[in-house]
Amino acid sequence: MCLGVPGQIRERWTDEEGALLARTDFVGEERVIRLNYLPDLDVGDWTIVHAGFALTRLDEAEAHKTIAMMRDVGLLEETV
């Protein structure tokens, strides 16, 4: 099973081969993801990622609600 932890885009760029990439913060863990399926995502936007690709856009309220629920049921640790 795969959990879709919301991530917030911190930086985006196009690499030398034309791929759309974004540095994304997943509750304190940063990953580089691809924006091929949602190329209009920008810095500050929230997304759900699968296999390194942004697949779903979330509004900020829904992202925070999902993170809080995941913490409540023990799926995420509380950050300091």
Whether domain 7-72 has CATH 2.30.30.140: yes
The Cα–Cα gap between 17 and 46 comes to: 25
Q: What is the pTM of this model?
A: 0.86
The Cα–Cα gap between 33 and 52 comes to: 5
Q: Where are the domains of the chain?
A: 7-72
The Cα–Cα gap between 70 and 30 comes to: 18
Could you read off the pLDDT of 12-69 as tens digits, one per residue? 999 999 999 999 999 889 999 999 999 999 999 999 999 999 999 999 999 999 889 8
Phi, psi (rounded to 5 degrees) for 56: -140, 135
Q: Which residues contact 4 (CB under 8 A, 6 or more apart)?
A: 48, 49, 50, 56
